[in-house]
Structure 1
């Protein structure tokens, strides 16, 4: 088959736009529609659902979407592949069959399982977590599609696998077609987060003419693994080299992007603006996957509570110190963890009371809910008439809530079952990769020639650079890129690990790893441990590091005067192929 396969996305997370499935089905032609509903935090949420009811553990919103759209998808011949099964793909598939009967729609359903290792966690050396799910690949999805399934439900597969599976089935790729698989992984990584590929969370968002309601993305994947990223005509947002680069930089670690089916070489990715709202991704190099699978481990870490004090006007530091001293001395029991953070949001001689106020947060954690419940928050409220002048709070006291801890684990792939359950109920064992290659760092590419010395100006980094940040367990990444070769010559030399430590003081004592991606004019930084024990632990006020990149962009840095003055003309479409040549 030489024609590209059109694969759309209608969900980037559990809770994404509920109408997106219908919008994508009605908006234009598709061969497949996919959705990503899982994340590290989502697995914890689904684990708690399953504790309450063993019949749950899947993304319930997907059922609502299918009640609305199953008939439409079947009528249009669009096949659906989603990871909404979470911890219970079989249970979700049974519910879908009930919906089909209720609607009178003739449809075939299949699911993929084997990723749930919770019952075997101890024997695999993974401890005793609430959830333990290995990241499976795309070949179970391929089996289900080849069996004639109209809807395929999976548990924990890699985010890109729901896109790689349809492409591999459509073109009949082999397990060792690593370049083709790698190309599909890149396309999948771009579209799996939904509207982040069409302008959402985009650093240069003001260049996009209409971001009111961005459309969801589509990947047109060709038989060699190259692709074009686009969206339905008439939808909001934009697809440009910039928006696609932004998503490519999201939650990556290094130049080798490891997966269960292929290790993708991100340092071989090239982008071209192929037309309005069309970005071409050239052929990508792939390598054999590592011999181990990553496992998502979620554990209930204990209970957490928080009180936030508002400090207004003068003597902010002294007021904070008084509140700390009083609360700690009044507590009858001391929680295992008691952390204070003063956010100096106030400004002198402020024109509004809010602008004159700072926030003092006290966060407590303990295995015993009684030590962080009313016994803590009630004491905080008792300070109201006995503490610093103007004492008030952002919210009233509450009981402690459970919090989770995420840790990654790794197991030999051969110890993890991968099972495709076909529409007729038959079960197919899908072999794990036999041809493997241990993961290793990529040597640093050659540095570009530095710019000649000249006048510089102190400006925000974001005056010339875009960035995107995200979370991976306790680590965060920040991908930073620029749009011209001259800017790249400056960025590659200037934005070093030491410079990041200076610009982001929180990182001073943390390990930072830098990776250069010259084809994208980008550098990626992985900051280890900045998120503590993962998003559910809430180690910092931005637990998923969503705003970390924008903080970096706001920090001032000496930039050559010529780069500041000679900015490329803003264009939501990015440079054309002719301009890039």
Structure 2
């Protein structure tokens, strides 16, 4: 017997038809969706300041298509779309249901919102102390309150800030009765939740070897067939596009992680214990996951308004591109001195784009005073001058600031149809023994001729953001290729292949059980996605940049060797 948990959203803005596709495409027991990236909380805060809802309204649009069929078939709906206002979102669900002539039991979870409470605002990544006033502060809750809501009879559960994996772990606790001590089962559900939380990224979306993925344009969303021991088969509905393979699952496993220990409110999942096996077409079994007690702290996502920013992009063509960029800058800074701004970022891309971003507490200074000055250089600058951005005003930007709070101080609350449901927070006691330390890779020395070729010919990669840090996961498909990769792709080699990473502190982690390495590049994204001046502020392209770099690869490891 399994619990079939389907995902229908990987971010705020994902495919609106996905909920209907998952309900109509085959049998499922739980429909989940993830709306809350780190950036989304800041977006919702901005919406709320403008008088708009503090939750994700696209959730209601999807729910309109499927609420009736889900109630008819007993499909539970669990979503974090409540954002900054889960109570308001639950009320909107009741209003929608009333218009549809339906009467679901709707629960919502609170307790994550710590805005206005005294917090120790030391950045969990950098150790810096924040001296600004938080706009939002939300703790990452776990799956236990979701399980309480489902046990109380909820048909729809709406949460605020919970971990992405909690949307799977909570239903697992409800169905299988896992207690705080069932660490391995909890850890397995966390891994399953991590795999399906980003929607089609588990079924071939954004996959390094995208040529292998059939009908990607109609990629199906993922399903986790969760078992009582925490193992799960990752699959998708038959007849949909996409691919579920060990490769696509591995790609998602190494997305936005740190070391082998993956901490959460319910359990620490040991990613170095995961076993993957292909059970059949589009069916990958994830098993063997071990768990450790959760830390005694919870992460809190703090956002604050940091000032205003503006970006102008100029196109440089023809000869002497670097000299033209210098002329362009000299002309601009002669009109608006560079040192007059709080922060300036100038990037010249290999494609001949000159991006100049200014940030300042003064909106006027970063606004048209800057952008108009750039345009004014149009007839007194480099030959071929033209831009991609018209003069415009500055826009406010926020900063994501992760902090930690004692878990014992957080009290989640659960409400069903407006009435509070008793909920007891409980945590696992430390086990008598401890799990072994993460394993080290076996280094493989391969002799013979080498060929200078792109690293991506034998390795996949996926990258993403974690606050101001970037994550870069790299994996191989055979033990031989991985052994060479683990020996070859050191931190020094990574910085040699991607020189722009040289100034940053980099951590390297080995996951030999899934033939993968993970790198964490600290500070690459500055103050986080919303404040990063990079063209790729979420580091989504970092993995593909690495795969394109030439390096000496043993000829026998290359395809068709």
Task: Give the TM interval when normalised to the shorter protein.
Answer: over 0.9
**Larger deviation: 172-181 or 447-456?**
447-456
CA contact under 8 A between 1:291 and 1:436: conserved in structure 2?
no
Q: Quickly say closer, same or farther: Cα 1:339–1:441, change in 2 above 3 A.
A: farther
The CA distance in 2 between the partners of 1:473 and 1:193, in whole Å, is 17
> Which of 44, 50, 59 is matched with 1:62 structurally?
59
Aligned to 1:570: none
Checking the alignment, whether the CA contact within 8 Å between 1:82 and 1:154 is kept in structure 2 is yes
**2:262 counterpart residue number:** 257
Of 63-72 and 527-536, the range deviating more from structure 2: 63-72
Question: Do 2:458 and 2:559's aligned partners in 1 also have CA atoms closer than 8 Å?
Answer: no
**1:513 has 2:510 as partner:** no
Match of 2:350 among 337, 344, 352: 344
Number of the residue aligned with 2:76? 79
3-state SS, counterpart of residue 313 of structure 1? coil
Tell me the CA shift for residue 121 of structure 1.
4.2
Q: Is the 8 A contact 1:510 1:528 kept in 2?
A: yes
Tell me the CA shift for residue 473 of structure 1. Answer: 0.3
What's 1:504 paired with?
A: 498
Cα distance in 1 for partners of 2:92, 2:153 equals 19
Partner of residue 41, structure 1? 39
**TM norm structure 2:** 0.95
C-alpha distance in structure 2 between counterparts of 1:306 and 1:297, whole Å: 25
> Partner of 1:116 in structure 2?
113
Aligned to 1:556: 550
Q: Distance in 1 between matches of 2:214 and 2:198?
A: 21
Q: Distance in 1 between matches of 2:68 and 2:523?
A: 47
Q: Does 1:399 align with 2:393?
A: yes
Q: Is the 8 A contact 2:400 2:467 kept in 1?
A: yes
Q: Which residue of structure 2 aligns with residue 321 of structure 1? A: 326
2:126 corresponds to which residue?
none
Kindly indicate whether the alpha-carbon contact (under 8 Å) linking 2:119 and 2:405 is maintained by their aligned counterparts in 1: no
| Distance apart, 1:417 and its partner CA | 1.6
Q: What residue is the counterpart of 2:127 in the other structure? A: none
For the aligned residues, what is the CA RMSD? 1.7
* Match of residue 291 from structure 1: 296
Change (3 A) 1:449 1:499: closer
Superposed displacement of residue 123, structure 1 = 7.0
Distance in 2 between residues matched to 1:272 and 1:443, nearest whole Å: 23
CA-to-aligned-CA distance 1:188-243 (integer Å, 9 cap, x gap)? 00001000000001001101222121000000011001110000010000111110
> 1:89 and 1:278 mapped to 2: Cα distance?
34
Answer with 3-12 or 412-421: which moved more: 412-421
Matches within 5 A, 1:112-511: 112-122=109-119, 128-331=133-336, 334-345=340-351, 358-423=352-417, 425-433=419-427, 435=429, 443=437, 445-511=439-505
Q: Give the secondary structure class of the aligned counterpart of 1:199.
A: coil
Unaligned runs of 5+ in 2: 123-129
1:354 corresponds in structure 2 to none
Q: Structure 1: which 5+ residue stretches go unaligned?
A: 346-357, 568-581
CA distance in 2, matches of 1:204, 1:122: 44
Match of 2:541 among 547, 566, 579: 547
Shift of 1:86: 0.3
Q: Mark the CA change 1:449 to 1:122 in structure 2 (over 3 Å): closer, same or farther.
A: closer
Deviation digits for residues 475-501 of structure 1, max 9, x if unmatched?
011111111111112111111111111
- Give the 3-state SS of the residue equivalent to 1:523 in structure 2: strand
Shift of 1:426: 2.0
Deviations, residues 503-544 of structure 1 (Å, cap 9, x unaligned)? 111111211111111110111111101011100012311000
C-alpha deviation, 1:421, in angstroms: 1.1
**Contact 2:4–2:29 (Cα < 8 Å) also in 1:** yes
**1:298 alignment partner, SS class:** strand
1:86-128 residue CA offsets vs partner (Å, 9 max, x unmatched): 0000000001111111111121000111001012144777762
1:537 equivalent in alignment to 2:531:
yes
1:32 pairs, out of 30, 33, 41, with 30
Q: 1:455 to 1:413 in 2, by over 3 A?
A: same
Conserved in 2, the CA contact under 8 Å of 1:444 and 1:515?
no
The answer as to whether partners of 2:216 and 2:241 remain within 8 angstroms in 1 is: yes
Structure 2 contact 121–403 (Cα < 8 Å) conserved? no
Cα deviation for residue 292 of structure 1 reads 0.2
Which range is displaced more, 334-343 or 175-184? 334-343
SS in structure 2 of the partner of residue 453 of structure 1 = coil
Shift, 1:432, TM fit: 4.8
Corresponding residue for residue 104 of structure 2: 107
Aligned residues: 550
Shift of 1:25: 0.5
The alignment partner of 1:557 has SS state of strand
2:87 pairs with one of 86, 90, 104 = 90
Greater shift in the superposed pair: 43-52 or 271-280: 43-52
Q: CA deviation at 1:277?
A: 0.5
- Aligned-partner Cα distance in 2 for 1:198–1:343: 32
For the 8 Å contact 2:106–2:417, the answer to whether it is kept is yes
Report deviation, 1:332. Answer: 6.9
The alpha carbon displacement at 1:430 in A equals: 3.4
Shift of 1:429: 3.9
1:413, 1:433 within 8 Å by CA — same for their partners in 2? no
Label 1:442 to 1:402 Cα distance change in 2 as closer, same or farther (>3 A). farther
- State the secondary structure of the residue aligned to 1:376: helix
- CA contact 1:418–1:432 (8 Å) conserved in 2: no
